[in-house]
Amino acid sequence: MKILIIEDEPLVAKDLIKLINKLEPTANLLDVIVSVTGAKKWFSMNESPDLILSDIQLSDGVSFEIFESHEITCPIIFTTAYDTYAIRAFKLNSIDYLLKPIDEKELAKAWSKFKSLSIDGVNDSLKQLMVHLNKEPKKYKERFLSQLRNSMVPVTVSEIAFFYKEELIFISTMNGEKLLSDQATLDEVESLVDPAIFYRVNRQHLVHIQAVARIKTTHKGLSVQLKPPYAHIELDLSREKATAFKQWLG
C-alpha cells in the first residue's frame, strides 16, 4: 500500500507515520509534503498513491487547491480542526477526518472505512464536498468570552491583538490587557477566526493583522514585530511560512 502524507507540522507528521506503521506495517510511505505548492509539483511528476492523509490548512494555502488542480483517484483522509459543516460533509460522504491531536482509535476507524471504499465513491464524495464548501460560506466568530478575575468578559475580534499559548490560551487586547480565553487550544481558536484577519505565526501565537507593525528578514525566515503596547515583542516565522505570510499581510 502506497501512502502520501500532506502535513506541515513535523510532530503531527511523525505521529501519523508511527500510527500508520502500527496499523499497516507493510505500508510504503512515499513522501511527506509540507505545502500546496510542493504537493502540486509532486502530483505532476508521480502517479496517484493508494491513500492520502492530508491536513487542510497548510503554510501556503488550503489543500483543497491541490485536489481541484489534479485529478485524484484515491481515498483521502483529512487531518484537521476544521469547521463543523465540513466535518458533516466528510461524514455524510464517507470520507473521514481526524481531529488533531491524532487519536489512534480514530485513525483505525478511518483506516477500516478506507478499505471499504471504492474509487468511484471517493471521487463522488470529494466532488460533493467541494460543492458543499463552495455553497456554504464559513461563518467566523465575532467575539470571544474571556475570564478576568471572577468575571466573564466579551471581547470582539477587533479588540484582540493576538492569542497566545502558555499552559493555557490567553488573549492580549489592543490596549494591553491580558485575558484568559475560554478556548482549550490554539488550534480551536484558529478554526473559529477569519484567516484573512488572524495568522498562526508559530505554535504559540495567533496574530491579528492590525497588530503587525513590521517584518524583517532573518536567517530563520522572518521576524514579526508588533505594534505598541507590544512593540517589544518580535515573533520568529519559519522560511516555509514566510511567502504565505507576506501574501497574507499584503
Model confidence over 99-124: pLDDT tens digits?
A: 777 888 888 888 887 777 655 555 55
Same domain, 115 and 181: no
Where among 135, 170, 203 does a domain terminate? 135
Where among 116, 135, 154 does a domain terminate? 135
Asked if residue 23 has pLDDT above 50, the reply is yes
User: CB of 87 within 8 A of CB of 37?
Assistant: no
- What is the reported pLDDT for 61? 79
Contacts 24+ apart (CB under 8 A), 82-88: 82/56, 82/57, 82/191, 83/138, 83/191, 85/132, 85/136, 86/56, 86/129, 86/132, 86/133
Helices (H), 24-83: 36-45, 64-69
**Across the chain, what does the average pLDDT equal?**
83
Same domain, 45 and 130: yes
- What integer is the mean pLDDT of 178-194? 89
User: CB of 95 within 8 A of CB of 75?
Assistant: yes
Cis before 228? omega within 30? no
- What is the reported pLDDT for 85? 40
What are the pLDDT digits (tens) for 223-236? 999 999 999 999 99
What share of the chain has pLDDT > 70, as a percent? 85
Same domain, 90 and 185: no
Same domain, 100 and 221: no
Same domain, 110 and 227: no
Asked if residue 165 has pLDDT above 90, the reply is yes
pTM, to two decimals: 0.51
Q: How far apart are CA 34 and CA 190, in angstroms?
A: 19
Same domain, 128 and 211: no
- What is the reported pLDDT for 216? 92
Same domain, 123 and 147: no
- What integer is the mean pLDDT of 55-72? 79
- What integer is the mean pLDDT of 24-52? 91
CA distances to 37, 131, 182, 231 from 43, rounded to whole Å, are 10, 23, 41, 43
Asked if residue 164 has pLDDT above 90, the reply is yes
Confidence bin at 88 (pLDDT 50/70/90): very low
- What integer is the mean pLDDT of 194-204? 91
Same domain, 128 and 10: yes
- What is the reported pLDDT for 233? 92
Domain that holds residue 21: 2-135
- What is the reported pLDDT for 29? 93
Confidence bin at 93 (pLDDT 50/70/90): very low
Same domain, 25 and 123: yes
Same domain, 43 and 151: no
- What integer is the mean pLDDT of 55-76? 80
- What is the reported pLDDT for 132? 55
The domain total for the chain is 2
Domain with 57 in it: what CATH number? Answer: 3.40.50.2300
- What integer is the mean pLDDT of 35-41? 92
- What is the reported pLDDT for 131? 58
Same domain, 159 and 82: no
